[in-house]
Chains A and B, each alone.
Chain A
Amino acid sequence: MRENFKTVTLILLVLCSVGLTYHIWFGASPLKESAAPRYEYAHFVEQYSRKEIVTPSLIVFEGEEEDVFRRGEGEYKRLWKEGGALLGRLGRQTFNRISEAEMEVLLEMASSKTIFMFMVPLPVTFFLPEFTPSELNICRIFIIWEEHYYYVILEGEEIFTRRVFMDADEQLLGNLRPRESCRHLCLPDRLIFDLPGNNFLEPGEGDIVNLGTAGLPVGESDGPGLPIRDVKEDGENVFCLKLKDNRIFVPLDSFAAAELSLQKEKIDKEELVRAFFLDPSIARLIEERDGATFFTDGEKGLRIYPDGLVEYTAPGLVHIPPAMPYSAALQKGAENLRLFGGWQPGIHLTRVEMQSEGYRLFWETFYAGLPLVGRRAGTELVINEIGVFYYQRDLYQVVGEIGEKGSFRPFDEALAKAVLIYRESYPENEGILLGIEPVYYFSVEGMGTAKAVPAWSVSISGLETMYLHWQTLEPL
């Protein structure tokens, strides 16, 4: 009995020593692991395709007259959908490289064409994944019709074209013709204003300050609907407005708009925090005196202001060189916009700047063809190889129109008023016109609500962009 007890004890001790030796030799990890963080994916909206990241800034149909369609208009959406589908069908076609002169010849010979113009260059691979060279960034796409075939011209750093013979399926090409008219004028490279006796008066019925013929190219001086008077170019009573970009389109026909009632988009704060901090439990909360809430993990910070403005910074990523390709920056930027609050309908990528620390991307809201501008409305995101290091989001949704629609004052009156304002600061007889377009000008009314007033946005070199009330032309 005693021997049996000794045997069992010995066996237990041997097993115990084996176990302890194993535990010491291979045992517990040297560093104690933290509790597993809880990760979860945060998506505010469904995934977008790459084709929706970049949209044309303008769609121009050049036939007997020029029709221009802007973001947010129904016809714009239809034309871009058809244009995108056409490009998609060309996926496996071979394109030929042509020179600028060859392109000009093709364009001059064309009786009618549709042009998709991109302020933010469109990476060719977004629509044609197998295109070579894959790094082509398209500034303009031309579609030129002939009787039995059509040309597609892709203009970027280089120019490529493809002639496609129409088969039965290609009858759909007719869908690329506008179904509505939206006549526009492409402004000439110089505009001359009559300044009677150097006394600037309020522009009235188009008879006090008006565009002159002197600056108009031959053949355009009697263009449709252009208010032209005989004005002598020489002399002190003349103001010359030169154009920086000779592709500025202004509407010729009267068009109407109404003031808009806006509401701040509602974003789930918790979901937003989860989007920025993979493990939200490490984000500590700071309640600021102005009512803003600030979340930080010591390296990056997310501030949500009482009025809903969202601002995120990760200063540690600033010094990373922007080695990423342009198309990747757009794609990652779009992915992050979806993650950080969502890509709401009506938002378009309007500007991309390459800076030393990364790509800076801007989105704006469009409604019925007009962008919502003013203050800080919109979204801005700065991204580099490592990630997003700055993000600001201040988006409003259109609730509805306020009151009856009214007509915009003609563009020449808006230009004349802008010249009057310009002359108050600069007495010269010359200026450079950077742009003119109809917009909705944004003004905050109360917490979370705002109003947008239709306005002419006029940019003249040397002055901040002027926003002129669409009916009174008073600066906003």
Chain B
Amino acid sequence: MNLSRAKTVLIYTFLLLNVFLCYQLWQDQGYGGFAAFGRKEEISRLEGELQKAGLLLETDLPKTIGPMAYLVVEPWHYSPAEVIASFWEILEGKGEPRPEVAIHLGAGDEEKEENNLAGYFFGRYELIPSKTGVATLKYMLQENEKDELIAREKIAWQLVNNLTIFEDFVPDYSCSTGEGKIVLFRQEYEGFPLFAGYLHYSSLERQRIVQFYRLEVLGFAGQEREIVPPSTALLRFLEVYNGTEAGACIIEFSLGYYTREYDAERWEIPPVWRIRLNNGELYYINAFTGNVEI
């Protein structure tokens, strides 16, 4: 073999090698479908911690995204009369005349009475707004009312699709409890889930409960900062998770914004990693600090 030919062979060999190495680097940046060499330790640590906690990870960890900022929100101010009119149209039909609205103070469950402002009764419906902004609509089913699963979910979809107050709501997930089924929707802002804003449609045996909370988003706060990667968030979650339920697994791991309900004028809410387990438990890990949000 002459030298020229040998050089040609070596050029092709190294070219192939470099293509392979570039692919590996591409994987390493998080664009590929499997773990790169550099993350092996991290992956094995995650696997070990998951095993220790007795949890399975049944979803892919999302890719790390760039810096994020706080979201500035304020409570949604609404007129109960307008909300009542909107609900009435969807639930009873436009043509149906709406009965008089009766108001009485201190409505709702005894333990929550302090937070409730008043109870608004119209026909078989009761709307209970609270100081924190959470509103609850309850009504009993009529004898002749359809009680099929499809009909139940249809009403929830109708509410979200037809009421302007829920125009920025999207489906979240649904779950079953001992008492019935709950369909959940959540608010969204510029493509980011806003877990704090929600609509829960609970269909119990003879009763329907619609609970909703909405936030007015004023925009992002000025300063952006890096967020903790999903692997770090998962490790922080595993540090605090103390569940003992056998067969528990993580079925959702997503990034969004979350806050608990405040009776405040205006506030900033942080990006969070939401971790949802198959038993319905939800955990929010602050994506700036890695702390569990209470």
Contacts and interface: CB of A to CB of B under 8 A. Distances in A.
Interface string B254-294: 00000000111111111000000000000000101101111
Contacts of A33: 226
Contacts, number: 109
Interface string B28-70: 1000000011110110000000000000000000001001001
B38 A7 contact: no
Contacts of A17: 14, 17-18, 21
A35 B265 contact: no
A3 B7 CA distance: 9
B288 A282 contact: yes
Contact of A35 (B4, B226, B262, B291): B226
Which 4 residue pairs spanning A and B have beta carbons closest together? Answer: A34-B226, A13-B14, A20-B21, A286-B267
Contacts of B37: 24-25
Given A33-B226, A35-B225, 14 more contacts: A3-B7, A6-B7, A20-B25, A24-B25, A30-B41, A281-B223, A282-B225, A282-B288, A282-B289, A284-B267, A294-B264, A294-B267, A297-B288, A298-B292
Contacts of A289: 263-265
A297 B223 CA distance: 15
A421 interface: no
A342 B53 CA distance: 45
A284 B70 contact: yes
Contacts of B155: none
A1 interface: no
A24 B231 CA distance: 20
A298 B267 contact: no
Given A289-B264, A298-B291, A32 B270 contact: no
Contacts of A286: 262, 264, 266-268
Contacts of B39: 30
A7 B15 contact: no
B106 interface: no
A337 B41 CA distance: 44
Given A23-B25, A32-B226, A299-B291, A10 B18 contact: no
B28 A27 contact: yes
B67 A35 contact: yes
A288 B262 CA distance: 8
Most chain B CB within 10 A, of A9, A23, A24, A28, is at A24
A13 B15 contact: yes
B11 A13 contact: yes
A298 B264 contact: no
Given A286-B267, A298-B293, A31 B229 contact: yes
Interface in A286-327: 286-289, 294, 297-299
Contact of A20 (B18, B228, B288): B18
A25 B36 CA distance: 10
Contacts of A6: 4, 7-8, 11
A297 B14 contact: no
A287 B267 contact: yes
B7 A24 contact: no
Contacts of B22: 20
A285 interface: yes
Nearest to B40: A30
A16 interface: yes
Interface in A393-440: none
B137 interface: no
B217 to A, nearest CB: 15
A404 to B, nearest CB: 46
Nearest to A6: B7
Nearest to B292: A298
A191 B125 CA distance: 71
A282 to B, nearest CB: 5
B258 to A, nearest CB: 10
Contacts of A28: 28, 38
Given A284-B70, A287-B264, A7 B7 contact: yes
A23 B267 CA distance: 44
22 contacts: A7-B7, A13-B11, A17-B17, A21-B21, A23-B25, A24-B24, A24-B25, A28-B28, A30-B38, A30-B42, A30-B231, A34-B227, A35-B225, A281-B223, A282-B225, A284-B269, A284-B270, A285-B268, A286-B262, A286-B268, A287-B266, A298-B294
B265 A288 contact: yes
Nearest to A33: B226
A354 interface: no
A24 to B, nearest CB: 5
B10 interface: yes
A14 interface: yes
B86 interface: no
Contact of B232 (A9, A25, A31, A282): A31
A31 to B, nearest CB: 5
Contacts of B10: 10, 13
Given A6-B4, A298-B286, A13 B18 contact: yes
Interface string B70-85: 1000000000000000
Nearest to B38: A30
Nearest to A35: B226
A299 B236 CA distance: 14
A10 B229 contact: no
A444 B63 CA distance: 55
Interface string A255-276: 0000000000000000000000
B12 to A, nearest CB: 9
B267 A34 contact: no
